[in-house]
Amino acid sequence: MKPIFVELKNRVLFFFITGLMLSNFGICAQNEEIEKTQPNVVFIIVDDLNDYEGAFGGHPQIKTPNIDKLAMSGVTFTNAHTNCPVCSPSRNSLFTGVYPHESKDFGWTKHFQQPVLKHNKTLFEYFGENGYHVMGSGKLLHVNKKEYWDEWGVDINNYGPLAFNGIEPVGHPSVPEPYRSIGPIDGSFAPLSDVPTFHDSISKGNKTGWLYTRNKTDFLEYTDENNRDLMPDEMHAQWAAKRIKEMETNDSDQPFFMGIGFVRPHTPLYAPKRFFDMFPIEKIELSEIKEGDADDTHYKDIYPAKNKGPRFYRTLKESYGGEAELGLKHFLQAYLACIAFVDEQIGTVVDAVNNSEFKDNTIIVLVSDHGWQMGEKEYLFKNSPWEESTRIPYIIKTPECKSGEKVNHPVSLIDIFPTLTDLCGLTGDNRKNEVGGNIGGFSLKPFLKNTKTKNWDGPNGALTIVGNGLNQKEVLKQTYSYRTKDWRYILYLDGSEELYHNKVDPFEWENLAGDEKYFSEKGELKNELMKLINTHK
């Protein structure tokens, strides 16, 4: 017979080991459950898309049923802005979470060659490090690196098709000169049915038409609306929908991040004819433009007249016999058509999610990299410090958020990185080493829980820096624009200022910077702007 204390000791040891095993089993089961419920992310970014969508009230004639439907199922940020209103630095900042003025990314440097950002992880790498299956297709980063992705979708020139004259891509022949001579990207707009044709004296007997790429062999074939090759954005949308359906059958618990980058309405403004038909040229309504609106602004006094915005406006006006309104109507028709076209592609992706088993466990984000100015202040382009160029569509749908609600507090693209890492419970450093830039934004999760909340750690306004300034090195020698709930303050690189009371002047027609009645307000806004700059540099 064993001594009683030995038997008791063995029993205690048995129960201790059994309890430990059960405890560990419980932890494993809990971790497995966490992995299963960690949300998927479908991130959609659209190039050069301003606030014209119905959900944002930017243009009365626009038709964007899919974007509007997404807005009604998520939270719409109605006062959202880019941190740099031009493609490359905007996307570099968005996908690293680093303000452009902190990284000193003021131009078109590739993110992986930029002195600061090359030491930062991209959002895709960060998700991958946290156990996500990372997939992408289309234009996301301005210059892509496939090693960031577990899976890449469609390889194609996203700006295509281009008008091809048999020798090289050119401006579309239906666009009048001199606007056409701007080139095959920015100087072109036409329905896809208007297949480019050229005289043999130009083509030298070579094939002409729609060219996907610049290699002179990869053509988009077009017979009619129902018999044609797909445009790149259509390919990306269909790839995404196909992959979502395929993932339903692979029985994997691994969460996924899917990024889709659509190019339209970036120039060239080509889309199938049925989208042009939605906006008859004789019925086009232009933006409200005040004659002489540029007179009290300082952009024209500082930046060269050859810069794209002023030059494109002058050239379009010249191309239509000096009638700016006529030229803007033709350009705007193509821009609206391309928005309607990309709205359909967005619908393809969002419907694929909503019709799948992932519907209740997927975050959907829709943003643009910056806006577009449509003739206001005699400017036709992006990269300006004003509302039309900085304001962007911005929708976040989460499984828990309230449907159809709006947030009017100013936010910006810098907040996307911390928001997604917060919602998905990601951990780790956003930097590869100490040389990398710090996260500049704040998680928007409080707004997703309560759209009226006052408990947000972020700033009072959204900060934008005009890209490709005259000084490419010094932080304090850039042009900055700061948008709060009611005001916009602009500080140019030479110290010139503009001040707009957007609450009563939504079109920013009256520059109040020189009015003594507003010196106090201007001073407060400047202090807030400078605090943001000095905190992140």
User: pLDDT tens-digit profile of 89-108?
Assistant: 999 999 999 999 999 998 88
Query: What's the pLDDT score for residue 26?
Result: 40
Query: What's the pLDDT score for residue 191?
Result: 98
DSSP 267-331: SSEEE-HHHHTTS-GGG-------TTTTTT-SHHHHS-TTSHHHHHHHHHHHHTTT-HHHHHHHH
The stretches in the chain having pLDDT less than 70 are 1-36, 214-215, 468-471, 536-537
Query: What's the pLDDT score for residue 400?
Result: 87
Can you tell me the distance from the alpha carbon of 410 to that of 408, in angstroms, rounded to the nearest whole number? 6
Task: Name the strand (E) or helix (H) holding 345.
Answer: helix 324-354
Can you tell me the distance from the alpha carbon of 463 to that of 94, in angstroms, rounded to the nearest whole number? 13
CATH class of 38-154+242-306+342-535: alpha beta
The tokens describing 107, both together, are: 């131009």
Query: What's the pLDDT score for residue 23?
Result: 42
Query: What's the pLDDT score for residue 34?
Result: 40
Query: What's the pLDDT score for residue 536?
Result: 64
Task: Name the strand (E) or helix (H) holding 490.
Answer: strand 487-491
Is 454 exposed, middle or buried (CB count within 10 Å of its CB: 0-12, 13-18, 19+)? exposed
Report whether 164 contacts 157 (CB < 8 A). no
Can you tell me the distance from the alpha carbon of 211 to that of 196, in angstroms, rounded to the nearest whole number? 10
Query: What's the pLDDT score for residue 15?
Result: 40
Query: What's the pLDDT score for residue 469?
Result: 64
Give Cα separations from 449 to 55, 367, 389 (angstroms).
20, 20, 29
Can you tell me the distance from the alpha carbon of 12 to that of 6, in angstroms, rounded to the nearest whole number? 10
